Amino acid sequence: MSQYRYPIQFDDVVQRFRVIQERHDTLREAFAKISRRRTTYHEFEAVKHISFQISKGEVVGIIGRNGSGKSTILKLVAGVYAPTLGRVEVHGTVAPLIELGAGFHHELTGRENILLNGLLLGLTKRQVQHREAKIIEFAELGEFIDSPIKQYSSGMYMRLAFSVATEVDPDILIVDEILSVGDGGFREKCLDRIRQFRDSGKTILMVSHDMATMSGFCTRLLLVHHGQLIEDGEPSTVVRRYQELLTNSQPAMAY
């Protein structure tokens, strides 16, 4: 990874989605449209010609109203989406905490999902087994670790997902709002773990609506509005610009 100046780089990136326009009043009308293959749609640009670079060791936050394109950017970094236009470069191992339960199998136990997620994040079975005790200890799930995760609350999902993702020691950690789930004590514990990542020189990209956390934790903020990057800089300056938008902007379609 050291040979690359920027672990994350966006170059004039556009991400489009197809949005179905027609709404059918009856099931018969819906089947009629399918049979005639005339379903119509329009293209929605969730990300519009965005360019930025993130250096190794930076802690960068993305802020903006719901539907502004924040999570789409994270998913482009994580490889969930391929850009419609432009170029996304990511160098290094990535641990994405984007959606609660992503990569989990609901019929498997927490312990079995530790192995599954560890393998998905690039570890060998032996490496996962070596880290298992630390993951279980951090997650604080007690006897539930051997219960099917379909019985877990959203807070328990978050604990297990965060524990696995941070224990694999990635080069890049992506966090999307999931720290808002769960009790304050565990949230602070997660922030302490992220601080350790920051202090060890890891690259962190995060999304949150908690401006106090973003201002105090991030070294830099990106402000996204209706799919466009409109501010990139020092946290207090970007937060002020964001607050100016809150009173007069309309929410966008979420992607």
Q: Is the dihedral angle over the CA atoms 90, 230, 232, 187 positive or is it negative?
A: negative
Q: Amino acid identity of 34? A: I
- pTM assigned to the model: 0.81
Other beta carbons within 10 Å of 191: 15
Name the token pair of 236.
Answer: 């207090």
Q: Is the pLDDT of residue 24 over 60?
A: no
The span from the CA of 45 to the CA of 50, in Å, is 11
List CB contacts of 50: < 8 A, sequence separation 6 or more.
Answer: 10, 12, 13, 14, 69, 73, 86, 224, 227, 228, 229
From the CA atom positions of the chain, what is the Rg in Å?
A: 20
The span from the CA of 86 to the CA of 75, in Å, is 15
Q: What's the whole-number average pLDDT of the chain?
A: 86
The answer to whether 22 touches 42, Cβ cutoff 8 Å, is no
Q: Is the pLDDT of residue 250 over 60?
A: no
Q: Is the pLDDT of residue 26 over 70?
A: no
Q: Is the pLDDT of residue 249 over 90?
A: no
- For residue 120, the model assigns a pLDDT of 84
Q: Is the dihedral angle over the CA atoms 51, 80, 101, 156 positive or is it negative?
A: negative
Q: Is the dihedral angle over the CA atoms 107, 109, 110, 111 positive or is it negative?
A: negative
Name the token pair of 152.
Answer: 């877990």
Q: What is the mean pLDDT of residues 190-211?
A: 90
**Which residue has better confidence, 49 or 249?**
49
Rounded to 10 deg, the angle between the 154-167 and 125-139 helix axes is: 130
The span from the CA of 193 to the CA of 212, in Å, is 18
The span from the CA of 111 to the CA of 131, in Å, is 12
Domains of the chain plus CATH, in order, are: 1-92+172-179+202-255 (3.40.50.300), 97-170 (no CATH)
Distance of CA 222 to the CA centre of its chain: 15
Over residues 109-164, the pLDDT tens digits come to 999 999 998 888 888 999 999 999 999 999 999 999 999 999 998 888 888 988 89
- For residue 1, the model assigns a pLDDT of 43
The span from the CA of 115 to the CA of 233, in Å, is 39
The span from the CA of 111 to the CA of 147, in Å, is 8
Q: Is the pLDDT of residue 254 over 60?
A: no
pLDDT-wise least confident of 29-33, 66-70, 230-234? 29-33
How buried is 41 (Cβ within 10 angstroms: 0-12 exposed, 13-18 middle, 19+ buried)?
Answer: exposed
The span from the CA of 173 to the CA of 176, in Å, is 10
- For residue 182, the model assigns a pLDDT of 61
